[in-house]
A = this chain, B = another copy of it.
Amino acid sequence: MEYITSVKNEKIKEIKKLANAKGRRQQQRYLIEGEHLVHEALINDIVIEELLVTENFLNHDEHHLVKQLYDQCVQIGDSVAKHLSATVTPQGIFAVVALPPTDPNIDYQGKWLLLDRIQDPGNVGTMIRTADAAGYQGVILSKDSADLFAPKVQRSMQGSQFHLQLLTADLQKIITSFKQNHVTVYGTLVNEQARDYHQVQAPKNLALIMGNEAQGMNNNLAQLADKNLYIPLIGQAESLNVAIAAGILMFNL
């Protein structure tokens, strides 16, 4: 097994570039970190291009990940692990996997979450995890949302990228396609003129749009939606965090 101890190694330099969106786009792959995520990738039949592990991990490999992926495996020194890690105390296991196809076949069935310019990576990741837990088919992000495979998004989505379809697309076009395919599209507004979500009887096939943290959903999208919903608030808070609002709606529609 190859053993890399220098952060200046060419392979490590290429992998390090996956920490930002440009590197991921150019190489069409991304880095996952930690035993749980690598295990999740494996059981979901995701192709693992490279597996990087420290000596310490090799000695505590409870799921025998290295054995299963021996041909892709490279041992790295602790300083290399620190260099690649998005956490303070790396577990000592990383894998490089391909980005999902940018234009997957949408079957226009089931429930979909659409994110319009969500900026906070934690919000994006948490909403994807919640959509997964609520049995959604997939999540579609507008082009100016937080980047799907940024380390902070990954930390919040906790492996849900292996469970549902994720893509970045033009939301106006997507919404039009959903409507042509008889999928009901719900926008969300922080506005009592919208419809109280308690009053809708949600169909089996639907798309739910959540909007930017500060500005809410784009007006064009509100006009395209079949209905716009709001969550009535009882207390003094002016609004809910967008991921909380999405959670309430996904578990009630």
Interface residue ranges, A against B (CB under 8 Å)? 122, 126, 129-136, 156, 158-160, 163-164, 231, 233-241, 243-245, 247-248, 251-252
Contacts and interface: CB of A to CB of B under 8 A. Distances in A.
Given A163-B237, A237-B158, A237-B160, A244 B130 contact: yes
User: How often does this chain occur in the complex, in copies?
Assistant: 2
Contacts of A131: 235
B126 A244 contact: yes
Given A122-B122, A252-B252, A135 B235 contact: yes
Given A240-B247, A244-B243, A252-B252, A233 B133 contact: yes
30 contacts: A122-B122, A126-B241, A126-B244, A129-B237, A129-B240, A129-B241, A130-B237, A130-B241, A130-B244, A131-B235, A132-B236, A132-B237, A133-B233, A133-B235, A133-B239, A133-B240, A134-B233, A134-B235, A135-B233, A156-B241, A158-B237, A160-B236, A163-B236, A163-B237, A231-B251, A240-B247, A243-B244, A244-B247, A248-B252, A252-B252
Contacts of A245: 247
A253 to B, nearest CB: 12
Nearest to A244: B247
Contacts of A233: 133-135
A77 to B, nearest CB: 28
A67 B247 CA distance: 42
A195 B126 CA distance: 24
Nearest to A126: B241
A85 B231 CA distance: 33
A251 B231 CA distance: 9
B237 A133 contact: yes
A127 to B, nearest CB: 9
B122 A234 contact: no
A135 B244 contact: no
Contacts of A234: 133-135
Contacts of A129: 237, 240-241, 244
Contacts of A251: 231, 248, 252
Q: What are the 7 tightest A-B residue pairs by CB atom distance, in nearest-first order?
A: A135-B234, A244-B247, A133-B237, A132-B237, A163-B236, A135-B235, A133-B233
